[in-house]
Amino acid sequence: MRIIESISEMQQQSETWRREGKRIVLVPTMGFFHEGHLSLMRAVRNQGDILVISIFVNPTQFGPSEDFERYPRDLERDLRLAREVGVDVAFVPATSEMYPEGYQTFVEVTEITRSLCGKSRPNFFRGVTTVVLKLFLIVKPHAAIFGEKDFQQLATIRRMVQDLNMDVEILGHPTVREGDGLAMSSRNTYLSPEQRLKALGLSRSLQEAQTLVDRGERHAAMILDRVRETLGEGGDVRIDYVELRNPLTFEEVSEINGPTLLALAVFVGAARLIDNCILRIPSHD
Ligand code: PAF
């Protein structure tokens, strides 16, 4: 596996592969790999000739009071794991390479980023779309894959690619969970053993919501009440949002009439955890 730190070297290499007719697939990451990242790499390993991953903790998607500084990092371990999965190139730029002095250009998707994580983290999606667009211009992939745990992020990237006529195929990958249901996240490392038990409320509440729908409940308010109850706010647990939205438009939903996004963001201790599912009416879908 080759490690590339320079933008121009990465661009030249990708240009050469493209001229040779090779298909490039990209897995953008912020590192500190868990099984979720590795399964993204495995999922696309055979979908192209060249598998590139990027490891870059992107400062522009963190708010001033967020965890950019203490976001977990372990480059040596990440590179070893990537090598084992069969990654061809790890693109690992420094912050000064991606955002040199004087940097001032951002790309923004508007409507669908105003709710949920976009509301709680005002510059988050602007930072994500900017860095993803930069990575696409540097790595020149034919396809890129993102996890569905960050449902709104995936929808936002799809929107950007469509709106800006970018020739990159965007693939989604189902959320990877621990055996007990907790969605895998680098931020799970912030949880104490007690907090980790409380964090199980997220995946449990999603399952309970689907059970309510299976039993005929259609009122958003009833479902949201049950989800909040299961999350058990208080002590270490603080709900950021619990919402039911149209998975395409992100408009709020008051009745379940078809596939509906149930999205959660919950602080458990210092960790802000997100999870989601698409609630489905059994006979409709
Ligand atoms: O999902 C992530 O890890 C990040 O938001 C991404 C897409 C790599 C951009 O920094």
pLDDT at site 91: 99
Residue 284 has pLDDT above 90, yes or no: no
Q: Give the pLDDT confidence of 118-134 residue by residue, as tens digits.
A: 999 999 999 999 999 99
d(CA 280, CA 285): 6
Q: What is the CATH number of domain 186-279?
A: 3.30.1300.10
Q: Give the pLDDT confidence of 219-241 residue by residue, as tens digits.
A: 999 999 999 999 999 999 999 99
Residue 167 has pLDDT above 70, yes or no: yes
d(CA 243, CA 92): 36
185: helix, strand or coil: coil
- Is 37 catalytic? The answer is yes
Find out whether the beta carbon of 130 lies less than 6 Å from any atom of ligand 1: no
37: helix, strand or coil: helix
- Distance from the Cα of residue 43 to its chain's centroid: 16
Q: What is the percentage of the chain residues whose pLDDT exceeds 90? A: 99
pTM, 2 dp: 0.97
Find out whether the beta carbon of 150 lies less than 6 Å from any atom of ligand 1: yes
Find out whether the beta carbon of 117 lies less than 6 Å from any atom of ligand 1: no
**Span from the CA of 229 to the centroid of ligand 1 (angstroms):** 31
pLDDT-derived band at 255 (thresholds 50, 70, 90) equals very high
Of the CATH numbers 3.30.70.580, 3.40.50.620, 3.30.565.40, 3.10.180.10, which one belongs to the domain with range 2-173?
A: 3.40.50.620
Nearest by Cα to 24 from 1, 56, 47: 47
**Span from the CA of 161 to the centroid of ligand 1 (angstroms):** 15
Q: Give the pLDDT confidence of 38-95 residue by residue, as tens digits.
A: 999 999 999 999 999 999 999 999 999 999 999 999 999 999 999 999 999 999 999 9
Residue nearest to atom 8 of ligand 1 (CA): 29
Residue 283 has pLDDT above 80, yes or no: no
User: What are the CA-CA distances from residue 233 to residues 183, 199, 271 (Å)?
Assistant: 19, 11, 14
Atom of ligand 1 nearest to the CA of 56: 10
Residue 285 has pLDDT above 90, yes or no: no
Domain residue spans in the chain?
2-173, 186-279
Mean pLDDT for the chain overall = 97
Find out whether the beta carbon of 275 lies less than 6 Å from any atom of ligand 1: no
Find out whether the beta carbon of 109 lies less than 6 Å from any atom of ligand 1: no
